[in-house]
A and B are shown apart, each in its own frame.
Chain A
Amino acid sequence: MREGGIGAAVKRKEDFRLLTGRGTYTDDIARPGELFAHMLRSPHAHAAISAVDISAAEQAPGVVAVLTGPDADADGLGGMPCGWGITSRDGTPMVEPKWPVIAQETVRYVGEIVAAVIAETADQAADAAALIHVAYDSAPACVQTARATEADAPRVHEAAVGNICFDWDLGDKEAADSAFANAAHVAALDLVNQRIVPHPMEPRAAIAEFDVAAAKLTLHCTGQAAHAMRLLLGAFVLNQPEHKFRVVCPDVGGGFGTKVPPYCEYAILCWAARKLGRTVRWTGQRAECFITDTHGRDHATKCELALDGEGKFTGLRVLTTANMGAYLSAFAPLIPTYLYATLFAGQYTTPAIWTNVKAVFTHTSPVDALRGAGRPEATYLVERLVDEAARLSGLDPVEIRRRNMIPADAFPYQTPVALLYDSGEYERALDIAVETSGWNDFEARRRDSEGAGKLRGIGFAAPIEATGAAPSAIAGSLGARAGLYESAQVRFNATGTVTVFVGTHNHGQGHETTFAQLITDKLGVPLENVEVVEGDTDRATMGMGTYGSRSLSVGGSAVDRAMDKIVEKGRKIAAHLMEASVEDVEFDSGTFTVSGTDKSTSIAEVAFAAYVPHNYPLEELEPGLDEQAYFDPVNFNFPYGAYVAEVEIDPETGRLSVERFTAVDDVGNIINPMIVEGQVHGGVVHGIGQAVCEQVVFDDSGQPLTGSLMDYTLPRADDVPSLTLDHTVTPCPMNPLGVKGVGEIGAIGAPAAVMNAVVNALAPLGVTHVDMPATSHAVWQAIQNARAA
């Protein structure tokens, strides 16, 4: 292994900056003469606005402008765009109501912007906002996902009858129905995959500047996808051409999906900056981010799994109602459809699958991607059903999985729900997890817990996901309104250092290190001589950003392709320098050699010759060593895992603790094992959080009651045991690096493993299902209900 190359567990290059407070986050940036925006937000989930009186606010000290919905219309702003269209099963397009950047006649969720005040200081803007009088005529709200389609549910958008955004299906209903007609057992569950808040450490923030002389707009913001942000805001909302619009996403303190979509605040800042010819900034308070960052999950599902007499899965049927919130955020329709139902085969050979998803509007905060985005919901229902099937058929949860897993020799494997799985050795991961977790010794630990008056449970989950979005042609045929390739530029500098420009974005994933390791490994340039630049539309040529665990397999592959071009050109330059024929020049780890001789030259010398072309084949070659490549994957890739959770429950109080957690993952080739481990750690903790703590609660009128960290529980260190991690390596055949995504798999597998363990612990009492989150109260209630039954 080359020092600092692929496979080296080097510490992250970016951490010196980030851990010593030297990062540059959006809020750290200051501009002379900047103005501050304050967003006045609706306190009602559903109300008609009869008047907005801004006269007092306009006269308040320091106020430069007060913007309202009609102003946005007058200035020709478009609504917030949606990046993915879904077609209902009757062939009609999804209902896509306009999402105005500032509410006009109606507000549809608590937190929706009703006016924006721009003032010389943040305090002046906030004080002036308090002087705005909005006359609301409040109305009943539609809040609960499962009840959104009921006849008497308040209507969210006039165009969405029954509050249905789309009614979509996938799979072969006839085949699935037939499997159920002939089933020996049917495992059926009603599940709620609860709404959770993404909670990046850094709140959203943005600064918009308008250079009047150049007619150029620059937006710095907390984003995960600078180019996509530019495209969506520029083309659909602001009518600002791309060559006159720069978006920069500097250091960003976590995203988890919620920082992918463009937001109304950013559109308002850009609009205000352009209108006023001044810099305008906004930094979200934790409280407003709680209700206006897009939320995640929020499904109500009825699902059932058919089995034959041998415990083989023969059919799966799923009916899901997915909550979109009040408006369609940029990728919301994609999540409960192609990122969800396409994963229903899980790791199994289930031959017949049918699903129907109704996406609904409610008077709640919009929902979009959150770590896993659809795939945690898929793994959760499949793996909960498998445990229920094990219970019904009297098989051990590991044994029933073993009987149904796709065998290693069956790849590539076509599932009945569209995806072609590339590679996998599922049973091997399962074997390692069984061994590492002490699955077979569980009974002894259970008895120990019993002796201490506690209930103990063990749960297995076999998560799978599709990462590396996406093959553009396939994505386009399924409704994507953009391509999903990635671009990379590898630029040698004259002195032999390298600058890499990639269209992805690093907000905790370690790209500055991982991408540099690719350069070090292939080109032999020391790690410290490589700089990775991301998140700037004026520097990286093009890109689609970081989400869906795509950066390495798509962006990294683009880097690899660009390096191939560097080597190809370098060989020609080296051949000239060594007076050899190009065919005889070989390249390995930073050195060009003439095969069969001891003649060699380093890539640094080649780079120098390329930029100081005194001795250079100028008649055949251009100067410079600077190459660009795009990579559009031919397929998704499919990371998978085998997870085992063990919980202990105090039956008197319902208090639950996750005692042990084992995760065996296969993410293909590993560039930096330490970063991979960190990503799995983060994902698993996120998943444990969903399983046992986190939940957004709205009251019946649509008021968010869990709107601060006093009322919304994030997992803390003492909620999580020391994790036992292991991995297998099944290289992905679909990209040159053989890698798969790793950022989300932990959050995909952990909820199912933990909840299977909870149900296992309570099984002696007759409990067969507990909804997330398994708080002490929920567990205690399940125990009481079981005892009363």
Chain B
Amino acid sequence: MDMTGEYRIGAPRERVWKALNDPDVLKQCIAGCEMLDKTSDTEFSARVSTRVGPVSAKFTGKVELSEIDPPNGYRISGEGQGGVAGFARGGATVKLTEDGGATLLAYEANATVGGKLAQIGSRLIDSTARKMADDFFGKFAETVGQAEEEISGEAAAEDAGAGEEAASAVAAEHAPPAAEGGGLSPAVWIGGLIAVVVIVLIVVLS
């Protein structure tokens, strides 16, 4: 499957930053997430229970960041094992651009699936993946405590791949400047965000 999407993020930098680097927050935002660990600055691992159509399973996934080009983008790749349900693997290229006071996060993801997921679920995967991604961002925005009214009305996600409108708008502010001192660099928090997107797209669903 190939999938593209775009999210406009307008949350206060510090809160988003912390949240995106807080495995507990991320875990709360991924439906069915049982475990999420940041194993290094560039690696995450996760375990998620979910279902795609008639296939339900526990997925265990690892995601790795590469081609890090702060603050312009990243390459993310990962693989998830769903046991008897099959597996998913793939990658995403993520680009960040400034958009007024906010930041646009655009991704192009591709993934291959195998086993029962491919055999039975292939026609259900795209829509399920989108729904899960949207659910994540919705929940994330809520969790980081950003008021819904700050969501700009036009903020929307677009899914060029399937030509469907998808994704909820996410309260966000423009990409933060590089942090000094006690903060993590944008490379890390954006990486964290992307990692979650990819966990959702690749590990959990695709």
- Judged by a CB distance under 8 angstroms, whether B118 is at the interface is yes
- Judged by a CB distance under 8 angstroms, whether A463 is at the interface is no
Looking at the complex, which of A223-231, A547-555, A705-713 is the stretch in contact with chain B? A705-713
- Judged by a CB distance under 8 angstroms, whether B123 is at the interface is yes
Residue of B nearest to A700 (CB): B112
B76 to chain A, nearest CB (A): 20
- Judged by a CB distance under 8 angstroms, whether A622 is at the interface is no
- Judged by a CB distance under 8 angstroms, whether A782 is at the interface is no
- Judged by a CB distance under 8 angstroms, whether B113 is at the interface is yes
The residues of A that contact B179 with a CB separation of less than 8 Å are none
- Judged by a CB distance under 8 angstroms, whether B116 is at the interface is yes
Residues in B113-129 with C-beta less than 8 Å from chain A: 113-120, 122-123
Residues in B72-110 with C-beta less than 8 Å from chain A: 83-84, 86-87
Q: CA of A498 to CA of B29 in the docked complex: distance in angstroms?
A: 73
The residues of B that contact A290 with a CB separation of less than 8 Å are 119
Given contacts A110-B114, A130-B83, A703-B113, contact A287 B119 (CB under 8 A): yes
Q: CA of A384 to CA of B58 in the docked complex: distance in angstroms?
A: 50
Contact A703 B118 (CB under 8 A): yes
- Judged by a CB distance under 8 angstroms, whether A613 is at the interface is no
The residues of B that contact A123 with a CB separation of less than 8 Å are none
Residues in A117-142 with C-beta less than 8 Å from chain B: 126, 129-130, 132
Contact B87 A708 (CB under 8 A): no
The residues of B that contact A291 with a CB separation of less than 8 Å are 119
Interface residue count for A (Cβ, 8 Å)?
23
Q: CA of A284 to CA of B134 in the docked complex: distance in angstroms?
A: 37
The residues of B that contact A41 with a CB separation of less than 8 Å are 84, 115
- Judged by a CB distance under 8 angstroms, whether B57 is at the interface is yes
Q: CA of A299 to CA of B2 in the docked complex: distance in angstroms?
A: 31
- Say what secondary structure dominates the interface of chain A: loop
Given contacts A130-B57, A130-B83, contact A43 B122 (CB under 8 A): no
Q: CA of A132 to CA of B119 in the docked complex: distance in angstroms?
A: 21
Contact B112 A703 (CB under 8 A): yes
Contact B114 A708 (CB under 8 A): no
Q: CA of A241 to CA of B117 in the docked complex: distance in angstroms?
A: 42
Contact A110 B119 (CB under 8 A): yes
Contact A708 B119 (CB under 8 A): yes
Contact B123 A710 (CB under 8 A): yes
- Judged by a CB distance under 8 angstroms, whether A462 is at the interface is no
Instruction: Name A701's contact: one of B57, B83, B114, B117 (CB within 8 Å).
Output: B114
The residues of B that contact A699 with a CB separation of less than 8 Å are 112, 118
A605 to chain B, nearest CB (A): 63
Bits for B120-154, please: 1 = Cβ < 8 Å to A, else 0: 10110000000000000000000000000000000
Given contacts A130-B83, A710-B123, contact A705 B118 (CB under 8 A): yes
The residues of B that contact A43 with a CB separation of less than 8 Å are 86-87, 114-118
Q: CA of A72 to CA of B118 in the docked complex: distance in angstroms?
A: 29
Q: CA of A366 to CA of B112 in the docked complex: distance in angstroms?
A: 23
A278 to chain B, nearest CB (A): 24
- Judged by a CB distance under 8 angstroms, whether A85 is at the interface is no
Residue of A nearest to B89 (CB): A138
| Minimum-distance CB pairs A-B, first 10 | A43-B115, A707-B119, A703-B118, A43-B86, A43-B114, A130-B83, A708-B120, A130-B84, A703-B114, A704-B119
